[in-house]
Amino acid sequence: MNEQKTSAAGQRYRVYQVVGIALAVLFLALGVTAFVVGGGPVIAAIAIVGGLAVLIVSIVMMVRS
């Protein structure tokens, strides 16, 4: 029974990591779009740095688990 509980918890964290990667890609796309459309380099840089941070954390947590 303990084994089932662990695998269910592992699956939940895997879903969180995949959602984090999806959000990171969204932030990166928004950053590039903001720069191309003319939102300014500061807005684009904030979105890109945020997206990269979320992507790195998601990948690191995926590797560690």
Residue 3 pLDDT more than 80? no
Percent of the chain with pLDDT over 90: 49
Count structural domains, the chain.
Answer: 1
> What range does the domain containing 22 cover?
2-64
Mean of pLDDT values over 27-50: 91
Which pLDDT score, from 0 to 100, does residue 2 have?
Answer: 53
Which pLDDT score, from 0 to 100, does residue 14 have?
Answer: 83
Q: For the ranges 5-9, 17-21, 24-28, 51-55, which has the lowest average pLDDT?
A: 5-9
14-42 burial: b if 16+ Cβ within 10 Å, else e: eeebeebbeebeebbebbeebbeeeeeee
Residue 8 pLDDT more than 80? no
